[in-house]
């Protein structure tokens, strides 16, 4: 299976139980205040303000955006950005106890501290529903693969062989990006560096960092923007 990007690190200040009680105590004094929630849908960040409605029985109820509720329902948790009125610098993570996108309500429990790492990403990344063909060019061979996700900075490419894939190796890549008409494909070439290869058996996932020229970057950026529009529409149309 492909490696999943870890969006956050767990942080424990006391014990997990003590941390949860401190968070709940803080929230008791914040009823009516807004908190910034963060989830991901197909690598696209979904982040809206949520209003804290009540805190009881070690749970907190929030009024949330419909899209946020849909993604919380899938992930079964949400990240909450550090609140400026908190005495601690950490972000918070909470598990979903109840979610209703129709009512725009979530009830969270089992709170803990976290450090959101995904904010450190330099580029927006999108997951592809339809694979994009890729050719990895070596000095004496060509390895075919399919792009699983992509950003302006790089991509995760699925291959059936890992024999030639060495981290740190500079390569050339050609991506066959679908055109808007859905019938033709645009071949975009660039140099890249293999960052890492994961999985011990086929299929392998090869992570590469792009060194694209401006012209190639423009084509990739256009494709990513189109994919973002598709993902947001999918989220809007989801019935959860």
- Confidence band for 24, pLDDT divided at 50, 70 and 90: very high
Task: Say which residues have a Cβ less than 8 Å from residue 8's Cβ, sequence separation at least 6.
Answer: 79, 91, 93, 114, 115, 116, 117, 118
The CATH architecture assigned to 126-236 reads Beta Barrel (2.40)
pLDDT at residue number 8: 86
Do 174 and 186 contact (CB within 8 A), yes or no?
Answer: no
Do 86 and 62 meet the contact criterion of CB atoms below 8 Å apart? no
State the Cα angle at 80 between 55 and 57, rounded to 5°: 20
> pLDDT by residue (tens digit) across 142-201?
999 999 999 999 999 999 999 899 999 999 999 999 887 667 889 999 999 999 999 888
Q: Are the beta carbons of 128 and 148 closer than 8 angstroms?
A: yes
In angstroms, the CA 47 to CA 89 distance is: 19
What distances in angstroms separate CA 20 from CA 25, 103, 105, 233, one per listed residue? 9, 26, 21, 36
Tell me what pLDDT residue 120 has.
Answer: 58
Handedness of CA 75, 34, 55, 88 (dihedral sign): positive
Residue whose pair of structure tokens reads 């009823």 in the numeric block: 31
**Mean pLDDT of all residues in 200-224:** 92
Break the chain into its structural domains and give their ranges: 8-120, 126-236
Q: What is the value of pTM for the model shown?
A: 0.79
Termini Cα distance of the chain: 26
Same fold, 8-120 and 126-236: yes
Mean pLDDT of the chain: 91
Query: Architecture of 8-120 per CATH?
Result: Beta Barrel (2.40)
* Residue among 82, 104, 103, 101 nearest 93 (CA): 82
Q: At 59, phi and psi to the nearest 5?
A: -135, 155
């Amino acid at each position: 299976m492909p490696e999943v990007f870890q969006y956050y690190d767990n942080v424990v200040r006391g014990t997990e139980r003590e941390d949860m009680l401190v968070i709940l105590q803080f929230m008791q004094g914040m009823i009516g205040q807004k908190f910034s929630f963060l989830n991901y849908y197909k690598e696209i960040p979904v982040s809206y303000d949520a209003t804290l409605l009540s805190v009881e029985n070690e749970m907190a109820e929030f009024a949330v955006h419909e899209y946020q509720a849909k993604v919380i329902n899938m992930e079964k948790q949400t990240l909450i950005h550090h609140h400026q009125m908190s005495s601690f610098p950490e972000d918070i993570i909470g598990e979903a106890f109840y979610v209703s996108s129709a009512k725009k309500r979530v009830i969270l429990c089992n709170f803990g501290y976290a450090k959101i790492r995904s904010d450190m990403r330099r580029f927006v990344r999108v997951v592809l529903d339809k694979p994009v063909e890729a050719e990895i060019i070596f000095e004496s061979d060509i390895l075919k693969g399919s792009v699983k996700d992509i950003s302006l900075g790089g991509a995760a490419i699925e291959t059936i062989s890992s024999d030639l894939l060495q981290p740190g190796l500079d390569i050339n890549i050609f991506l066959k990006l679908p055109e808007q008409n859905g019938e033709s494909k645009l071949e975009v070439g660039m140099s890249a560096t293999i960052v890492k290869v994961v999985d011990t058996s086929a299929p392998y996932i090869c992570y590469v960092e792009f060194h694209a020229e401006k012209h190639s970057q423009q084509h990739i950026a256009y494709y990513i923007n189109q994919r973002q529009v598709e993902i947001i529409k999918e989220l809007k149309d989801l019935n959860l």
